[in-house]
Amino acid sequence: MFRAKVNRSLSFLSTNSSRTTTTHGQHYQYLQCSKLPTLYFQRSLPRLPIPRLDQTCQRFLAAVEPLLTPEEQAGTRRAVEEFRQGAGMELHARLQASDAANKHTSYISQPWFDMYLADRVPLPLNYNPLLVMKSDPRPEYQQQVVRATNLIISSLRFWRSLQADLLEPEVYHMDARKSDTAGYRRWMKVAPKALATYASYAFKAFPLDMSQYSRLFGTARIPRLGRDELVQAPDSKHVLVMRRGHMYAVNVLDSSGYIESPSVILGRLRAVLRLDSEREAAAVPLGVLTASQRDEWAKNRAHFVSNPRNADLLQSEVDAALFCVCLDSEEDGVYDDSHQEPLLKHLLAGKAQNRWFDKSISLLISADGTTAVNFEHSWGDGVAVLRYFNELYRDTQRQPFVSTESVHTPAEGDLANVRPLDFEIDEATRSAVAEAYAKNAAIVDGLDMHLLRYPHLNKPACKQYGLSPDSIIQLSFQLAHRQAFAGYVGSYESCSTSAFRHGRTETMRPCTTATRSFCEALLQPARSRPPAGELRAMIDQCSRVHGQLTKEAAMGQGFDRHLFALRNTAQREGLPVPALYETEAYRRLNNNIISTSTLGSDALLAGSFGPVVRNGFGIGYSIQNDFAGAIVTTYRNQADGKVFIDSLESAFDKICAVIKESDSGSKERK
C-alpha cells in the first residue's frame, strides 16, 4: 500500500530568480530539463529477486514468535516445515518459472495490481491516503484560487517534463554531497545504458524504478463487477474541477499540448467560481458514488452510462481528465493548528460530495488555501506520489506564477474551455447517490482521529544520542500498545522495493522478539527493572534488528510478498491453498492491528490513512526537526485511539528517560 517509506535526496535544477512566463518558453513549459533522460536507468535496473524458500520460512517464524505462546510456536514450526518440504516447494518452483518467463517485470507486480483492483471495499479510508501540504506563508499566494492556479501550473510542468523525458531520474543518494553533482551526471551520461544502474552504484547512488510515473496523470480506476480496471488518457488537455458537488471540465493545455498562460488558467478557475455562485450546491453530487462498495458502484455506473449523454461526459471529461481539483467551500472547514482533526478527517474521507476518488490524483484545496493530495492507490505507491508532492511544493514556493494581484484573462461564457458537466439524472441514480451518501456518512462518522506532537523526541535529539529515528518510533508504538492493551499484535510497516524494476513494496514487521524483550523489561516494577544502561543496550539491539529487517525488505529479501505470491500462484493455477495460510500464526500476523506509514518530506504538514482492519490503528507518523508526530485513526467502539495516543505519549516519556539516564551515567563513568 501507500505506506512505502523512501528516504531520499533529490536533485533539482536551479531556476532563475525572474521566471519568464512566455507560454511556449522552456522555463515555463518544463519543471526540469534534466541532463539525463528520465528513464535513463530503467533498462538496467536489477530484477526483484525471489527469496529462497527456506529463508522465507525462517523469517516468517521469527516474525510470528513474539505473537505466539510456546505451544503455538511449536505447532507453527511443524506447519512451516510441512510447507517447506511439500506444497511450498512446488509453488516456489512454479513462481520461479513464471518469473523467468516474464523478465520485463517483477514477480509481485501483476498479483499486486490484481489484489488492489479485485478488492471490493470502498476506496476512502480503506485505500486512498492523504498527504497535506504545508501552507504558503505568504498570504498573496495562499488564497484558494491563486494557490489552485499555481498548483495546476506546477503539476503540468511536472507532467510535461515527464512526457518529454526531461524530469530528473529518481535516484536515492547515500551522500548527496558526493553523488548528487554535475560530475556524477557526466559520468552517468557516458556509461553504457545497459549498465548505467551498476555504474551509479559506484557513487553510492541508487536509481529507482519509475514505471509508475506514467500513471500519475490522466488515469482513472473504473468500477467493474469483480475486478476494476485502470484506463488512461495521457493526451488529455483538461482537468476536472469540482465545486460544491458540481463538476467542470477546464482546459489547461492548448490544442498543441502547451500549458496555457497563468492569466488564462487563473481566469478559467475564477469563471468556475462565478458559475458556481449562480446556482445551488449539487442536489445529486455524483462524486459520492465513488465512495461506494466497488460492486455497488459498478452496477450504478453501468446504469448511469446506459444514457449515451452521461456515458460520453463521464468517459471524455471525468475519466480522461489529467487530474482532479476539488475546490472546497467555507462550510467544509479550514485549517486550525490547535484543532486539526476536523479538517484532516474531511480531507481524508469527508462527505464525498466534492470528490472523485477514482482519479489517480486529486488536489484538495480548502477555502483558506490548505492543500492536500488524495490519491487512488492501485496504480502506484508513495515513491511517485511523494516525488510529485515535493516537486509541486518546491515549485510553488520558489516563484509562483500568479498572486492575488495578478490580472486574469476573463473566461465567462467560454464554454469551449470551461464546460459545466450537466448530466441527466434519473430517479435510480438519485436514489443510488442518496444511499451511497448515507453509507459513507455512517462509516466516516464512526472514524476517530487523534494527534500527538511530542517535542522531546526529534531529529536533533536522535542524532545527539545516536538513535535511529524510525526504530525509536516503531519501538514506541509497540510499548504503547503493550502497556495500554497488555499484548502484542500484528504490526505493519511498508518499505519500498523500487530499487528493482517494477518493484512495489515489502512488509516490515516491527514487532520483534527484541522489542518484546525491551517492553517487558521496561514495564517491570521499579525494584526488578534492569538499570538504564541495560535498557539502553536493549534499545540499541532493537535498532539493530529493525535496521536489518529494513535492509532485507528494501533488497527484496522480506517474506510477506513471497508468501503472498506463492498463495496467488496456487489460486491462479487451481491448486489447493497450503495449510500454512490457515494457521493461527499466519492469521494473527496478517491481522495488522498496528498499521504504520511515514513519509519524510519538508513539504508535508500531515499524512493520514484509515485502519486496515476494523479493530486496528492507522498510524501516520513523522519525525521533524522540532517534534515527533503521529496521527492515529480508529473506528469507534472497535479500537480506542485516545487510549493508544495517551499511551504513546507515555511510551515516548519512558524511552526518552531511559536514553537520558543512560547517557548521563555513561558520561559520569567517563
If 0-12 CB within 10 Å is exposed, 13-18 middle and 19+ buried, where does residue 439 land?
middle
Residue 342 has which C-alpha cell?
476536523
Other CB atoms within 10 Å distance of the CB of residue 339: 9
Q: Do residues 603 and 398 make contact, with C-beta atoms less than 8 angstroms apart?
A: no
Burial classification of residue 71, based on how many CB atoms lie within 10 Å of its CB (0-12 exposed, 13-18 middle, 19 or more buried): exposed
**Are the C-beta atoms of residues 237 and 527 closer than 8 Å to each other?**
no
Residue tagged active-site, from 346, 377, 408, 502? 377
Alpha helical stretches, state H, 327-420: 341-348, 382-398
| 109-118 vs 560-572: helix crossing angle, rounded to 10 | 80
Helix (H, G, I), strand (E, B) or coil at 656: helix
Q: Which of these, 212, 112, 52, 93, lies nearest to 556 by C-alpha position?
A: 52
DSSP tag of 418: E
For 529, the grid coordinates are: 527493572
Contact (Cβ atoms closer than 8 angstroms) between residue 244 and residue 281 = yes
Q: Are 456 and 656 in contact (CB under 8 A)?
A: yes
Do residues 136 and 148 touch, judged by C-beta distance below 8 A?
A: no
H helical segments located in 446-497: 459-465, 469-485
**CB–CB of 617/594 below 8 Å?**
yes
Tell me how far apart the alpha carbons of residues 657 and 532 are, in angstroms, rounded to a whole number: 9
Q: Which residues contact 211 (CB under 8 A, 6 or more apart)?
A: 42, 501, 502
Torsion of CA 369, 374, 379, 385, to 10 degrees: 50
Q: Which segments of 32-69 does DSSP mark as H helices, in order?
A: 53-64
- 377 labelled catalytic: yes
Q: Which distant-in-sequence residues (6+ apart) come within 8 Å of 7 by Cβ? A: 172, 600
Helix (H, G, I), strand (E, B) or coil at 409: coil
Q: For 602-616, give the secondary structure using H, E and C.
A: CCEEEEECCCCCCCC
Q: Say how far apart CA 241 and CA 359 lie, in whole Å.
A: 12
- So which residues are the catalytic ones? 377
